[in-house]
Amino acid sequence: MISNLQKPIDSGFHAKSNSNDIVQNIDLVEKKAIITGGYSGIGLETTKSLVNAGAEVFIPAKRTDEASSNLEGIIPKDHIIKMDLSDLNSVKSFADSFKESNNKLDLLINNAGIMACPETRIGKNWESQFAVNHVGHFLLTKELMHLMSNVEGARFISLSSSAHSLTPILWDDIHFENNAYDKWMAYGQSKTASSLIAIEFNNRMKDKGVKGFSVHPGGIMTPLQRHLENQEMVALGWLKEDGSPSDLVKNFFKTTSQGAATTLWCATSPKLNDIGGVFCEDCDIAKRKNDVDESLQRYFGVADWAVDSDEASKLWEVTETMLSS
């Protein structure tokens, strides 16, 4: 079932709104936030904006030295804690340490991820993009969600991507054990999962006053592209043959500040106080694909399979089984 709230609400912002536009006049003093990947790309921009609005931000980081360098003077060094999303023991350890010293959580932003990487197996022979982008974040979310219960204004944001439109969850072969690995299908599936976790989170937490949102931040050139060769980005239409940005990038891609804006809008907008369980893009709730011009459907709008509450509930249960088996 698709929520009847999955439609734009005239937020007052737009695709090129930046992080400063969003958090202007927002007071987050005494709010506690966790941002995965909050030390690079749009995650770093999100961290800076939340700190500037008064929030106390904690960053779980795989590369703590890099995080400490990038976040110097922004957050205390002891707010940067080792965590590797590909290692479930590491995720559990971070969650346990946070719970030991904190009795509430206002914002959980699952921002980290990997994209279109070569086939890699981790954990219980899991495909790495699904494991890192979804399973690791799922465990983190489950471990921390009780700290958000009945916390006024608490919100959960899970970063998806336009790549969710490539595929629904491949229920018969989630980990590409029976079919040839396709890095883009694997990435697309993981980003569909990233959306569905927010839908089911919202369903499970709405009676406790907590909202969940999935976010497509937009096209942004960040370290996420590290596994792509220039020729592949040419084929995708992101670069010209000479390596310069394509017209697509010039017209539709965003700066890191613009890319962080939708996450920040979902985290702070008063217009979402009574709304949750929706997919957002360009600082507003997204249109469904069928309501978007056909020529733009690859990059804009949300596919029904990424916001279907039945799919979301099934994925939650399947992931719990994966973790317990």
288 phi-psi bin (left φ>0, alpha ψ -120 to 50, beta other): beta
What is the C-alpha separation between 188 and 157, in angstroms, rounded? 18
Q: Is 202 left (phi over 0), alpha (psi -120 to 50) or beta?
A: alpha
Contact 67, 80 (CB under 8 A): yes
Nearest to 67 by CA among 129, 105, 111: 111
Which of these, 220, 205, 213, lies nearest to 286 by C-alpha position? 213
**Catalytic residue (choose from 39, 181, 187, 299):** 187
Spatial neighbors of 197 by CB under 8 A, at least 6 apart, are 110, 134, 137, 138, 141, 158, 212, 214, 312, 315, 316
Residue 20, CB-side half-sphere exposure with 13 Å CA sphere: 1
Tell me the β-bridge partners of 156: 108, 212
Q: Does residue 299 have an active-site annotation?
A: no
Which parts of the chain fold into alpha helices (H)? Answer: 19-23, 41-52, 64-70, 88-101, 128-130, 137-144, 183-205, 230-235, 247-252, 256-268, 309-324
- What distances in angstroms separate CA 133 from CA 129, 145, 248, one per listed residue? 6, 18, 26
CA distances from 246 to 17, 119, 240 (A): 21, 28, 5
Mode of pairing for the β-strands spanning 126-127 and 121-122: antiparallel
Q: Which residues are catalytic?
A: 187
